[in-house]
């Protein structure tokens, strides 16, 4: 089988792995590139013929893994999209939100004249999403699904977000059937919401994500640092902005705030979830209790958005109005890496004021505005306008939904036998090199490969 890395090679976004075997062509994930312009431009150029694909296996609903699907469909793809049941539920509102966000951004660009393109066009629209949703086929966990004779796959829980799965694929090799695992995004087993990753079944090859391949995430509780930040901002009469993926991180952050309020470690201040799909995301969690850790019961998940202190902001106008509110509050808004979305308006308003603070709770990819802010860069631009950064900027890594290098090695070690080959993707260069060195010293008989963008690996 030949795997070509059309994305997430030496970077963390745009996951698109093209597999070719037995005369079939299918993708594992179809994600959007995010971050710097040279990456985003790849979303507009198709590096393979979408209409010739026989299907897409989807690991999870995050946009950097699923957000390219409507574009594929717009370009002529009309076969099945295979995913887990919760992913199918989530995809509905995630992709509609992605289309809405792109339409909103294009509209704002046109009305404010900041776009270089005239008129600015969205990558796809709600109509393309509707077409995409028709192609979804739910595949049950741990059951082999046949793509064609000798090519089958099955899903296992990967512990990253609601519905996330890793994939084991069986395909014909030179000497009989071979197996490969695609990790997708791998959780670290420390989530207070989502159950941990399942043990990987014995396989010949693994494609392993490497987001935190050069880092160890903190193991201790996050509550102390988080409550200190909230208390400081509150005393200064400021506003705390938390950029977060609308699905996953937002729920974990809300849960953490609710817990701190219950324990009286922070004052009762208003918390706004500025995301039209917050309710849908929460409902999706309630619909699939088997995905959740045992104590994440209905009460706990519903509480944050059911009380007076927590408000869900629905419309764009309400969101803009919230930017003008001048009393202490917390606002959680997407996108998590500042690649667009409503959070940009909050930041434009809040960054210049030293009473305010921004807390990042997820990974910030190279070249994203999120990474620029964390690195302390003072020349910061939103919608081509310079914005003074006087607010405090924090990054709390213990909210992460990814495995670090130690988690990844422990996960691989759970296999009865070490795989012959490990292919590293979904990481930046430093991360990939570091994880490669660690895996090579841990498993001296395993070949570790780091493919470049657009390159192919035979397995």
**Contacting positions for Zn ion (CB under 5 A):** 62, 185
Of the pair 158, 356, the CB lying nearest Zn ion is at 158
What minimum distance in Å lies between the beta carbon of 127 and Zn ion?
A: 26
How far, CA to CA in Å, does 22 sit from each of 18, 94, 147, 294, 437?
13, 33, 10, 42, 34
Query: For Zn ion, which is the closer residue by CB, 194 or 351?
Result: 194
Cβ neighbours of residue 304 closer than 8 Å, sequence gap 6 or more: 254, 255, 257, 258, 271, 273, 310
Q: Which residue is nearest to Zn ion (CB)?
A: 62
CB of 311 to Zn ion, least distance (A): 27
Residue 257 or 365: the one with the smaller Cβ distance to Zn ion is: 365
Compute the C-alpha angle 45/51/56, nearest 5°.
90
Nearest approach in angstroms of CB 163 to Zn ion is: 11
> Which residues have C-beta within 8 Å of that of residue 402, sequence separation ≥ 6?
160, 185, 186, 187, 188, 209, 211, 212, 217, 363
Residue 113 CB contacts under 8 Å (≥ 6 apart), including other chains = none
Q: Which is nearer to Zn ion, 161 or 292 (CB)?
A: 161
Nearer to Zn ion, 21 or 188 (CB): 188
Compute the residue count for the chain.
459
Question: Least Å distance between CB 444 and Zn ion?
Answer: 31
DSSP state of 292: B
8 A C-beta contact, residue 408 and residue 419:
no
For residue 166, the minimal CB distance to Zn ion (Å) is 12
Nearest distance from C-beta of residue 52 to Zn ion, angstroms: 27
Residue 62 C-beta: closest distance to Zn ion, Å = 3
For Zn ion, which is the closer residue by CB, 82 or 245?
245
Q: Which residue in 246, 119, 184, 236 sits closest to 425, CA to CA?
A: 184
**Nearer Cβ to Zn ion (179/339):** 339
CB 3 within 8 A of CB 19: yes
Give the helix/strand (H/E) hosting 69: helix 69-74
């Amino acid at each position: 089988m030949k795997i070509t890395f059309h994305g997430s090679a030496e970077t963390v976004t745009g996951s698109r792995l093209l597999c070719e075997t037995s005369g079939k062509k299918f993708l594992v994930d179809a994600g959007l590139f995010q971050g710097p312009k040279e990456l985003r431009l790849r979303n507009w150029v198709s590096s393979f013929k979408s209409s010739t694909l026989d299907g897409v296996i989807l690991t999870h609903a995050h946009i950097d893994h699923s957000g390219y699907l409507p574009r594929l469909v717009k370009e002529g793809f009309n076969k099945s999209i295979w995913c887990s049941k919760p992913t199918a539920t989530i995809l509905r509102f995630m992709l509609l939100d992605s289309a809405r966000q792109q339409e909103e951004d294009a509209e704002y660009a046109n009305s404010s004249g900041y776009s270089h393109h005239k008129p600015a066009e969205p990558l796809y629209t709600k109509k393309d999403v509707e077409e995409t949703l028709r192609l979804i086929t739910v595949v049950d966990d741990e059951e082999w699904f046949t793509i064609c004779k000798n090519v089958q796959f099955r899903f296992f829980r990967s512990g990253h977000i609601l519905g996330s799965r890793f994939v084991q694929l069986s395909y014909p090799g030179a000497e009989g059937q071979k197996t490969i695992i695609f990790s997708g995004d791998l959780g670290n087993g420390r989530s207070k919401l989502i159950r941990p990753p399942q043990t990987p079944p014995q396989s010949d090859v693994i494609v392993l994500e490497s987001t935190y391949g050069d880092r160890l995430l903190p193991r201790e509780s996050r509550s102390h640092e988080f409550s200190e930040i909230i208390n400081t901002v509150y005393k200064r009469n400021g506003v705390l902005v938390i950029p977060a993926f609308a699905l996953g991180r937002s729920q974990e952050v809300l849960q953490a705030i609710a817990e701190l309020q219950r324990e009286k470690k922070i004052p009762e201040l208003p918390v706004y979830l500025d995301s039209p799909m917050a309710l849908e995301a929460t409902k999706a969690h309630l619909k699939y209790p088997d995905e959740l850790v045992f104590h994440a019961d209905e009460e706990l998940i519903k509480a944050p958005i059911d009380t007076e202190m927590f408000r869900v902001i629905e419309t764009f106008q309400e969101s803009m109005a919230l930017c003008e509110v001048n009393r202490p509050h917390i606002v959680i808004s997407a996108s998590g890496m500042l690649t667009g979305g409503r959070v940009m308006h909050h930041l434009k308003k809040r960054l210049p004021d030293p009473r305010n603070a921004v807390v990042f709770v997820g990974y910030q990819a190279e070249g994203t505005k999120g990474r620029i802010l964390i690195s302390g860069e003072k020349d910061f631009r939103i919608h081509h306008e310079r914005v003074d950064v006087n607010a405090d900027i924090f990054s709390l890594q213990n909210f992460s939904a990814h495995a670090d290098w130690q988690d990844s090695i422990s996960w691989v070690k759970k296999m009865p036998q070490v795989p012959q080959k490990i292919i590293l993707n979904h990481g930046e260069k430093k991360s990939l090199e570091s994880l490669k060195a660690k895996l090579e010293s841990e498993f001296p008989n395993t070949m570790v490969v780091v493919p470049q963008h657009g390159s192919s690996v035979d397995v």
